[in-house]
């Protein structure tokens, strides 16, 4: 089964300093038809104004991935981690039994545009953890580059769930096919541009869910950037 979710169907909240689109139910946006997809619980597309951000707040028992599309995002947490992530960087925070952190856009003259992704873990109450890796555009061009996995293989960040997250850039003649193993499901989110997924053309903000399908094919990209989730 293939189910499309168009960008304009997502939840939306504009707080002035923060403009956010929610692929799944989040905060004041509630849609019983879109609570999660397997362990994939949140994909928020956030734009934070310069000089603004999220003050210190807490999380627990969640794998949180930040993927920057434009600008930069400063992170601090109560484990002593502090860094600035930019396009190409992937940040993983395992909230475990509890963590406090903040996220700010200190660049006064431009927005920070990023995806905040939450994946439910398969282990609860663990020691909180933090990890950050960089993936250059060349690694993602015309292919699906593994950026998160349960075993950290191929230089990906490590998450506590039987899930693989891939990032890819596609333009012109770039194409790729991924076979979907029996019992697995796939969620693809288009972060930028346009791309044909199987028989459907998707634009930025669109997504597709695949269940009991043999594979997924990406072709005819136009400056497209995608994230693909291979899920139990």
Q: What pLDDT does residue 71 have? A: 97
For residue 33, name the pLDDT band (cuts at 50, 70, 90): very high
- Concatenated DSSP letters of 177-218: EEEPPTT-EEEEEEEEEEEEETTEEEETT-EEEEES-SEEEE
Task: With H, G, I as helix, E, B as strand and everything else as coil, classify residue 179.
Answer: strand
Structural domains for the chain: 2-231 (2.60.120.10)
Q: State yes or no: pLDDT of 80 exceeds 90.
A: no
Average pLDDT for 19-48:
97
Q: Please provide the average confidence, as pLDDT, over all residues in the chain.
A: 96
Q: What pLDDT does residue 56 have? A: 85
Model pLDDT for residues 136-163, shown as the tens digit of each residue: 999 999 999 999 999 999 999 999 999 9
The percent of residues in the chain predicted with pLDDT above 70, rounded, is 100
């Amino acid at each position: 089964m293939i189910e499309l979710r168009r960008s304009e169907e997502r939840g939306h909240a504009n707080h002035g300093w923060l403009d956010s689109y929610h692929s799944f139910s989040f905060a004041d946006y509630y849609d019983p038809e879109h609570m999660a997809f397997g362990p994939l619980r949140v994909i928020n597309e956030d734009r934070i104004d310069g000089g603004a951000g999220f003050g210190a707040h807490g999380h627990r028992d969640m794998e949180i991935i930040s993927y920057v599309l434009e600008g930069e995002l400063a992170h601090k947490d109560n484990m002593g981690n502090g860094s600035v992530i930019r396009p190409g960087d992937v940040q993983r925070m395992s909230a475990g039994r509890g963590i406090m952190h903040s996220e700010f856009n200190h660049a006064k003259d431009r927005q920070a545009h990023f995806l905040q992704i939450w994946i439910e873990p398969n282990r609860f109450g663990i020691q909180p953890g933090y990890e950050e890796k960089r993936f250059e555009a060349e690694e993602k061009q015309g292919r699906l580059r593994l950026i998160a996995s349960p075993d950290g293989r191929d230089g990906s960040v490590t998450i506590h769930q039987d899930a693989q997250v891939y990032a890819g850039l596609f333009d012109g003649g770039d194409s790729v096919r991924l076979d979907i193993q029996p019992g697995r499901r796939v969620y693809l989110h288009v972060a930028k541009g346009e791309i044909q997924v199987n028989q459907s053309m998707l634009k930025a903000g669109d997504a597709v869910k695949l269940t009991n399908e043999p594979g997924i094919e990406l072709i005819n990209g136009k400056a497209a950037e995608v994230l693909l989730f291979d899920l139990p």
